[in-house]
Structure 1
Amino acid sequence: MSESTDSEVVVVTGASAGVGRATARAFAERGAKIGLLARGEDGLEAAREDVEAAGGEAVVVPTDVADPDAVEAAAETVEDAFGPIDVWVNNAMVSVFSRAAEMTADDYRRVTEVTYLGYVYGTQAALERMRPRDEGTVVQVGSALAYRGIPLQSAYCGAKHAIQGFTESVRTELIHDGCDVQLSMVQMPAMNTPQFEWTKRRLPRKPQPVPPIYQPEVAARAIRWTVDHGRDELWVGRSTVTAILGNRLIPRRLDDYLARGGYDSQQTDEPVDPDRDHNLYEPVTGDFGAHGPFDDRARERSYQLWTSMHRRALAALAGFAAAVGGVILGRRLASNDAN
């Protein structure tokens, strides 16, 4: 698929902050019309300003993706404003940093409803509109944790695993039906987003992403590239590749490794404020932007991602270099034989 030049219509869930906020800006930079879905109205209005400043158009649709009727209504609102939806990016999430033994049934239910079922409802709303036209793209913002669970995030890891299985299942159905709607998943590394400021936690110290940490703009570029190139799955960051492949090869060794280091690596040295608001059931007021508090440690690019994006060109270049090398070697051998 070539890069879009028309004014595409894009829906981004979880658009008020973090990866969703950066993704909305990335599509706005090429003039897209964007439906911004999230619960927090302060962040949504700021995201709309970002989109318009970047050259796009936006409609704000306050939405809790855990409500399928609300998701369906949001899709209708976007199409009423801008026309048929070309791209739907499922990104909204909530989580809880906690040992599984201390989790409540309500905590698990809420994380599952938003972080997994929100993707299901978004995919259903998108496919209902895209299948009759036989075109469009749905992108699931995933994680290395869709393949490799880690301690203190059992609800989130479970939801990401579920998204992976759901996506693979639906993709096979689309292929069976000969449907050209693209269903993609982009597996992310640790990102510098505001979730670490507002996620519910039962930890002695403040949570942090496990290094290496990447800026949300890296994720946004990967999502936009996936839409343009129709990749079924894209891994972002060397750490994502290591986690996924490592879990395939040495899963029990990773269990032991994470059991030893997975607690401390997800916490800073600062104590948690027990009275700080969290966003599990209600949005936290205010505009948090795309970036979290780890700008000084976050990477603005991924060389692994660049390589993955250009793998065909690199393979062609390697083939050309091998051919040239073969010709040179052949000539040298022929010259030696002549002598």
Structure 2
Amino acid sequence: MTTTLKPLREQVLVVTGATSGNGLAITEAAVARGAAVVAVARNAAALDALRARLAADGGRITICVADVSDAEAVERVATTAIDAFGGFDSWINNAGTGTYGTLEQVPVADHRRVFDVNYFGVLHGSLVAARHLRTRGGAIINVGSILGDRSIVQQGPYCATKHAVQALTDTLRMELETAGAGISVTLVKPGAIDTPFPEHARNFMDQPPRLPQPLYAPQVVADAVLFACAHPRRTLYAGGGGLLASLMAQVAPRLSDFVMEAGGTRAQQKPGDAGDPARRDNLDQPRADALRGSRDVFARKSSIALQIQKVPSPLLVLGVLGAGAAVVLGRRRRGAGR
């Protein structure tokens, strides 16, 4: 079956984690561009407010309160989409959670909870979406992370889940292609995005957490995701900073380790600024949601690297970028040897 995706304005999208950060940006942008959205999250009050706000402007939106770690709840999402819009065309697995702290500091129960949401939530959504899209075609977009390419200190469980999501996504794509299902499967890999994630994450460090620069606005991720809904792509990096970090990890993994060991913890700490206390620690229960983090930070509103990836044959451009990174690293190594 040939993979043919509808224009975005003709689609119904399912978006998990829709009340905060990247999910909220995806939902707002999709509705603004004429798509219908099934917004999914744990936060019932935030979902009600989101529906009221977007519907008041003529947006097509329905909501479903669900924790994606619950397989039965995810099945209910599909039923909601069918009841409201007759089905869906793209399913976006975006919901996620995390912790800050060493592998030893984070209790095993919290490791499992991060996997329940970030990995099993994607698995549940992918299986439900694939089953419903087999007869009509469509797209499954999983929101991963550059931390699926390059692990970072203090976020071990989160990094592990994003590595697992990459493997899951690649396997799903191959299985659906073998079956001729006509379903596009895309992995979107954001870099550091200015969302409430550091405030929502459970923190075991002795300082408040933050995300390191360069930061990008959540709309950059929304741009990548909505593009993938209408244009088949294997992978899209949201943010040039993340793409360069990924390339560096592949070209010089040990150098990347040393850089991370030397400054990774400090780059993820914000002494004296814990952010909005109403958002703190949503690992087990929803907390206050928002589009952006509560701190005053600079976040880029667009990504040239993402726009390059949208062209029909971006591999040549990415190859040039990779070769350039290799040359720069080679010069640095030679300079250090002298």
TM-score (ref. length: structure 1): 0.87
Q: Distance in 2 between matches of 1:238 and 1:34?
A: 28
2:94 aligned partner, one-letter code: N
Going from structure 1 to structure 2, the CA distance change for 1:184 and 1:27 (only over 3 Å counts) comes to same
Cross-structure match for 1:299: 300
2:301 aligned partner, one-letter code: E
1:120-144 CA distance string (max 9 Å, x none): 00001101100122x0100001110
SS of the residue corresponding to residue 132 of structure 1 reads coil
| Superposed counterparts of 1:112-261, under 5 Å | 112-133=115-136, 135-261=137-263
Contact persistence 2:26–2:226 (CA under 8 A): yes
Q: Distance in 1 between matches of 2:292 and 2:35?
A: 22
Q: Distance in 2 between matches of 1:42 and 1:51?
A: 14
Contact persistence 2:97–2:200 (CA under 8 A): no
Q: What percent identity do the matched residue pairs reach?
A: 33
RMSD: 2.1
Task: Structure 1 unaligned segments of length 5 or more: list them.
Answer: 317-339
SS of the residue corresponding to residue 119 of structure 2 reads helix
Q: Distance in 1 between matches of 2:311 and 2:122?
A: 29
Residues 302-311 or 8-17, more deviating: 302-311
1:213-264 CA distance string (max 9 Å, x none): 0000111011111222111111121212112211111111111110110000
Going from structure 1 to structure 2, the CA distance change for 1:313 and 1:129 (only over 3 Å counts) comes to closer
TM-score (ref. length: structure 2): 0.87
Cross-structure match for 2:72: 69
1:30 deviates by 1.9
Residues 113-122 or 74-83, more deviating: 74-83
Q: Distance in 2 between matches of 1:103 and 1:178?
A: 42
Contact persistence 2:95–2:117 (CA under 8 A): yes
Task: Structure 2 unaligned segments of length 5 or more: list them.
Answer: 318-338
Contact persistence 1:17–1:290 (CA under 8 A): yes
Q: Distance in 2 between matches of 1:158 and 1:57?
A: 36
> Structure 1 stretches (4+) deviating beyond 4 angstroms?
311-316
Contact persistence 2:99–2:157 (CA under 8 A): yes
Going from structure 1 to structure 2, the CA distance change for 1:272 and 1:264 (only over 3 Å counts) comes to same
Going from structure 1 to structure 2, the CA distance change for 1:147 and 1:12 (only over 3 Å counts) comes to same
1:115 aligned partner, one-letter code: N
- Alignment length (residue pairs): 312
SS of the residue corresponding to residue 291 of structure 2 reads coil
2:308 aligned partner, one-letter code: T
Matched, 1:268 2:270: yes
